[in-house]
Amino acid sequence: QVKVVPSGGGLVQAGGSLTLSCAASGLTFDENDMAWFRQAQGKEREGIACISMSGANTLYVDSVKGRFTITKDNAKNTLYLQMNNLKPEDTAMYYCALDVKWRWNISRLSLDDAKYWGQGAQVTVSS
């Protein structure tokens, strides 16, 4: 049984930073691609960053490229999302996704591509 425990999130001013993490058990981390999705109020959930099983490859949507960094610690079975220079438009519920189908075009990443989900973490960025 796979168990996913997210942490992080909160309220931050524009220009600030936050780190999200998802610790998992029951899953071999270095055998799975993973991703972060987010869902703003009234919008569909979208994949914003993904990382390959070894961590060697990462992909980002243009809106977060250069500001967000996805990493994973296979020894600790933990996935991270470091978010810098946050903007009000980053306000959303953020979800980690484990055992994800790799898409070289991240815009094609869909909800059906992820097998396991963490509970969402709210990120609110004030202007």
Q: What is the pLDDT of residues 63-107, one digit of tens each?
A: 999 999 999 999 999 999 999 999 999 999 999 999 999 999 999
Q: What is the mean pLDDT of residues 26-48?
A: 95
- Whole-number pLDDT of residue 127: 94
Q: What is the mean pLDDT of residues 57-62?
A: 97
Measure the CA–CA gap between 88 and 37, rounded to whole angstroms.
17
Measure the CA–CA gap between 104 and 124, rounded to whole angstroms.
29
Instruction: Using pLDDT thresholds of 50, 70 and 90, give the confidence band for residue 61.
Output: very high
- Whole-number pLDDT of residue 100: 96
Q: Are strands 121-126 and 10-13 parallel, antiparallel or unpaired?
A: parallel
Q: What is the pLDDT of residues 41-51, one digit of tens each?
A: 999 999 999 99
